[in-house]
Copies of this chain bind each other. A is one copy, B any other.
Amino acid sequence: MKGRPDSSPFVRLFGRFLREQGLPVTHQREAVAEVVFGSGEHLSVDEIERVLRSDGQHIGKATIYRALDLLVRSKLVAELDFGEGFKRYEHRLSADPIHEHLICLNCNAVTEFQSDEVHRIEAMVSARHGFRPTRHKLEIYGLCQECTVAGVEVTPEGLTCPIETV
Contacts and interface: CB of A to CB of B under 8 A. Distances in A.
Interface of A: 9-10, 12-13, 16-17, 20, 73-76, 81, 83, 93, 100, 102, 104-105, 111, 113, 115, 117-118, 120-122, 125-126, 128-145, 148, 154, 156-160, 162-163, 165-166
Contacts of A141: 133-137
Contact of A136 (B13, B111, B130, B139): B139
Nearest to A83: B81
How many identical chains are in the complex?
Answer: 2
Contact of A16 (B130, B143, B144, B159): B159
Contact of A102 (B76, B115, B131, B140): B131
Q: Interface SS of chain A: helix, strand, loop or mixed?
A: mixed
Contacts of A129: 102, 111, 113, 144-145
Given A102-B129, A118-B121, A137-B138, 6 more contacts: A13-B166, A75-B156, A76-B159, A117-B117, A117-B120, A137-B137
